[in-house]
A and B are shown apart, each in its own frame.
Chain A
Amino acid sequence: MAETAAELARTRPRPVPLTWLGVVPFMLFALMFLIVPATLLMIGAFQDPQGNFTLQNIANLNQPTIIKAYRTSIAISAASAFGGALIGFGIAYAVALGHVPRWIRPTMMTFSGVASNFAGVPLAFAFMATLGRTGLVTALLTSIFGINIYRYGFNLLSFGGLTLTYLYFQIPLMILIMTPAIDGLKREWREASAILGASTWQYWRMVAFPILWPSLLGAFLLLFANAFGAIATAYALTGSSLNIITILLFAQIRGDVLHDPNLGYALALGMILITGLSNGAYIWLRSRSERWMR
């Protein structure tokens, strides 16, 4: 038996080197355009212009403009992720469990697929045409209800305006993530809890919500990272008037506004840390909920 196996091993051409060769382009590409560039930035964050190790760049992050930029970015990302998660969950729930006609669901999913990818510069244009000073909704509100939202302190080029704009892709993204998760709630769980004496509220509190919780929190984190790294919409909407971290970094790359290239690397490192943490938590939570759902 052992002999024949050994014989087989000798006669059969060994495919291992060839298969490894097949993944070389991918690995090379990943190294050149993902891993090395990101690593270089992270290294740069700990170097002075002469290339010596320093923690000064990290320390230099502690200045009002940068702190405020991080804060605003985190606030907008959290607000749009929270709003998107809440509203998106509501719509996903309505579509999946709301006893609405069957055609609504595929329509909503297709639309969500489009809207979640409709971001960047054109999205900014759309919201300017809608809620800008001469936008249609602004004009309609003024002429029909006599409410000039700009007089009440609304400004599209602000925290609230940008959050509202981000919701346009955050909500659909949430719908795309949560509808399958809600589908994963088996009808039998609801029935089993009902027959055991639980009310609808108790079912949601004790069964459905705990089951959905990892997906919900995970989706929130994904939405957060999604908004945190975004720049095009904000830039097209506000130019550089809004101080968020991506716009600050953009300006730094363009013209070294911080007058210190290595500080820029530290800025980028901070961003990687924040999105990395929230994405990491997302992946972890997802694997947890998948284990249950098996």
Chain B
Amino acid sequence: MKRPVIGPWITIILGTLYFLVPLIATFEFSLRMKRGVYSFEAYRVVFGDPNFQASFTYSAVIAIAAILVGVLIVVPTAYIVQLKLPRLRPLVEFITLLPLVIPAIVLVFGYLRMYNSSSWLPLTNSVRGTDFLLTCAYVTLALPYMYRAVDTGLRAIDIRTLTEAAQSLGSSWPRILFQVILPNVRVAVLSGAFLTFAIVIGEFTMASLLNRPAFGPYLQLIGANRAYEPAALAIIAFIITWACMGLIQLFGGGRQRAARR
């Protein structure tokens, strides 16, 4: 049964154009800073801007902190739910899906109400406190992705046998978790981490409403005041996203091949 292949090709080509044209246009635009010639002037300006460096570093640090906190919370929970408390699974899965249900702006609104200066835990009173709050906010944002990645990773290995083997050798629980289980789901944790990084690095709403000097609000500020730098920043942001996804593919793909073998 041969069917004409022209329709699918047209669809794919149009779709690809829709994806690529904005990127090309943005890139072209980012090169136009100097009158009459293409140059990387906009990138030079952006990279030279101390606010860029500061805000990017800030967001990267918060992102890494969020990844660490996320891993510490998610891995033991996913492990225990799978091994010991399967009846908790529906509840835990429901909770991890909540951040998809409650929009980020609503969540941060809730934080502002719950942790304001006159509350029982006035996190927003201090800079460190707000940083902590933002970190936790990002952990929440990334929770659905992190949990799903780790849960899938745990399913792929036989954690029961691994655990029993470690127990029979006399390992303690923390040792089992961090020296036996974690290395075996490293790939899953890494893909969750990169996805978290991609989501969090340019996040605007929460950082802006918590008044922290993060990369997202910086982007917005530049966008409101400059012409060519935003295009350069968009390209940079795209490359960062691409790098994160590429790394996930790289690790994930390797694992899939290994699993098939």
Query: Contact residues of A with B, CB < 8 Å?
Result: 15, 18-20, 22-23, 25-26, 29-30, 32-38, 40-41, 44, 87, 90-91, 93-95, 97-100, 104, 108, 110-111, 113-115, 117-118, 120-130, 135-137, 167-168, 171-172, 194, 225, 228-232, 235-236, 239, 246, 249-250, 253-254, 264-265, 268, 271-272, 275-276, 279-280, 283
Contacts and interface: CB of A to CB of B under 8 A. Distances in A.
A37 B98 contact: no
A127 B209 CA distance: 25
Given A29-B139, A276-B101, A130 B25 contact: yes
Contact of B209 (A137, A225, A253): A253
Interface on chain A toward B: helix, strand, loop, or mixed SS? Answer: helix
B23 interface: yes
A231 B223 contact: no
A137 B25 contact: yes
A279 B103 CA distance: 11
B113 interface: yes
A126 B101 contact: no
Contacts of B224: 236, 239
A228 B103 contact: yes
Main secondary structure of the interface of B (DSSP, over half): helix
B108 to A, nearest CB: 8
Contacts of A249: 105-106, 109
17 contacts: A20-B85, A29-B139, A30-B98, A33-B136, A41-B110, A91-B15, A95-B12, A110-B246, A110-B249, A115-B19, A117-B195, A120-B202, A123-B234, A128-B223, A225-B101, A250-B205, A254-B209
A264 B216 contact: no
A171 B18 contact: yes
Contacts of A120: 202-204, 216, 219
A253 B76 CA distance: 36
Given A236-B219, A253-B112, A125 B204 contact: no
Contacts of B199: 117
Contact of B77 (A26, A229, A236): A26
Contact of A124 (B15, B92, B223): B223
B9 A129 contact: no
A136 B22 CA distance: 9
A29 B22 contact: no
A23 B12 contact: no
Contacts of B60: none
B129 to A, nearest CB: 13
A113 B245 contact: yes
Contact of A135 (B25, B209, B238): B25
A129 B22 contact: yes
B98 A118 contact: no
Interface string B124-143: 00000000000011011000
B52 interface: no
A98 B230 contact: no
Most buried by B among A87, A114, A239, A272: A114
Given A94-B8, A129-B25, A37 B220 contact: no
Contact of B9 (A34, A100, A127, A228): A100
Given A229-B105, A275-B103, 20 more contacts: A18-B173, A19-B84, A26-B73, A26-B92, A33-B137, A34-B99, A35-B95, A37-B107, A91-B15, A117-B245, A121-B219, A126-B25, A228-B103, A231-B104, A232-B204, A236-B204, A250-B105, A250-B205, A272-B101, A283-B97
A49 to B, nearest CB: 13
Contacts of A91: 11-12, 15
Contact of A33 (B19, B111, B204, B238): B111
A276 B76 CA distance: 28
Contact of A235 (B76, B111, B220, B233): B220
Contact of B76 (A22, A34, A126, A254): A22
A163 to B, nearest CB: 13
B59 interface: no
Nearest to B133: A33
Interface in B6-21: 7-9, 11-12, 15, 18-19, 21
